[in-house]
Amino acid sequence: MADQYAHSGDNKRPTGMPALRWEEPPEGPVLVLLDQTRLPAEEVELVCTDAPALVEAIRSLAVRGAPLLGVAGAYGVALAAVRGYDVDDAAAALESARPTAVNLAVGVRRAHSAYRAVVDGGGDPRRAAGAALAAARQLHQEDAEASARMAVHGLALLDELMPGGGHRILTHCNTGSLVSGGEGTAFAVALAAHRAGRLRRLWVDETRPLLQGARLTAYEAARSGMAYTLLTDNAAGSLFAAGEVDAVLVGADRIAADGSVANKVGSYPLAVLARYHHVPFIVVAPVTTVDPSTPDGASIEVEQRPGHEVTEITAPQVPVAGAEAGGGIPVAPLGTTAYNPAFDVTPPELVTAVVTEEGVVSPVTTEALAALCARSRQVTIS
């Protein structure tokens, strides 16, 4: 179950609360999530005491973003273990909560493996729970460190591709501290450029239908003080045509062995526009997002989400009587069906570079990615 704690105060000014944190109050350990579906209007925390509550939070995107899903999944296994629930059931439910971001499975399996290693070795469940929690904490720390290293490698790549600074970066969806144990992936690179005085502007795609860009990236950009401008997704083409984009920076949810990149829907059209306009298309993701066991883009399961996310504008503070399942404000005739893939897949030949904590891969080839995984602590999914 999950309780909600609304935070008073000036919610118009983002406070930069952590996307998630583990707490151990007297009544028992909890995973506290900043409910991202309520941002930017409200900073509301969800307190999860079991895996089912966390599964629902993942499915509703209260907690989201590939690297953070891995961290949350690992803590979810630990939560089940320390509270004495069925850990194997919890791991299975968490791993299948969303299919595309490979990090979720990586995080869940890492904590579950730590738990099973103790139990299968005859250790007591309390020690096994401690091992699962230690694995979750370790992954959380590693993700924060990876974020910082990606920012360094990413800024160096921008400076190499475009000497002189004044970078005008277009980004899609949300890839900041709300998807990470640190400052994020692609957004962390833009943040590093801003801090170095080499970001002229961040162009922020609103990212329909759930508006991660308008609601979350703008929220993080405002906190940082960087120059940023929001645009509708379908306005991006005219920005490229006007020569206003120096590079595209996006995250990733799964990178297949051949370098195909699954990312928020709308990323593939940006890659095509970037190629047509001779603009670098740069993917920023931790090595845990590379999945050697997924051979190519056609093998990536793309999450299909409910149609009401397209046919309604969801305004949580404005429940609408008679609205469809989503409880939003209809923008299409009731009964309209909608095509709503959460992600799309960009082929490797349209990706200029993949920036990871282990360095930059460019060109993006099967061999280069295999070498990257061999260099890192990548947990292979089999």
Positions marked active-site: 253
133 or 291, CB closer to ligand LNRAV4D5?
291
98 is in an annotated binding site: yes
117 or 314, CB closer to ligand LNRAV4D5?
314
Contact between 248 and ligand LNRAV4D5 (CB under 6 A)?
no
Contact between 93 and ligand LNRAV4D5 (CB under 6 A)?
no
87 or 173, CB closer to ligand LNRAV4D5?
173
Contact between 19 and ligand LNRAV4D5 (CB under 6 A)?
no
Q: Does residue 25 have a cis peptide bond before it, meaning omega lies within 30 degrees of 0?
A: no
- Do the beta carbons of residue 259 and residue 348 sit within 8 Å? yes
User: Shortest Cβ distance from residue 68 to ligand LNRAV4D5 (Å)?
Assistant: 7
Number of residues that bind ligand LNRAV4D5 (CB under 6 A): 17
Residue with tokens 């703008």: 218
Contact between 253 and ligand LNRAV4D5 (CB under 6 A)?
yes
Contact between 260 and ligand LNRAV4D5 (CB under 6 A)?
no
Select from 64, 109, 140, 168 the one that contacts ligand LNRAV4D5 (CB under 6 A).
64
Residues 183, 195: Cα–Cα separation, whole Å? 13
Contact between 65 and ligand LNRAV4D5 (CB under 6 A)?
yes
User: Shortest Cβ distance from residue 64 to ligand LNRAV4D5 (Å)?
Assistant: 4
53 or 285, CB closer to ligand LNRAV4D5?
285
Six-digit token pair at 379?
């947990």
Give one DSSP letter per residue of 127-183, joined into a string.
HHHHHHHHHHHHHHHHHHHHHHHHHHHHHHHHHHHSTT--EEEEE-S--SGGGSSSS
Nearest partner of 289 among 260, 255, 258, judged by Cα: 255
Determine whether 208 is exposed, middle or buried from the number of CB atoms within 10 Å of its CB (0-12, 13-18, 19+): middle
- Do the beta carbons of residue 52 and residue 46 sit within 8 Å? no
Phi and psi, residue 357, nearest 5°? -70, -20
User: Shortest Cβ distance from residue 260 to ligand LNRAV4D5 (Å)?
Assistant: 14
Residues 230, 214: Cα–Cα separation, whole Å? 7
Known binding residues are 64-66, 98, 212, 263-264
Known binding residues for substrate are 64-66, 98, 212, 263-264
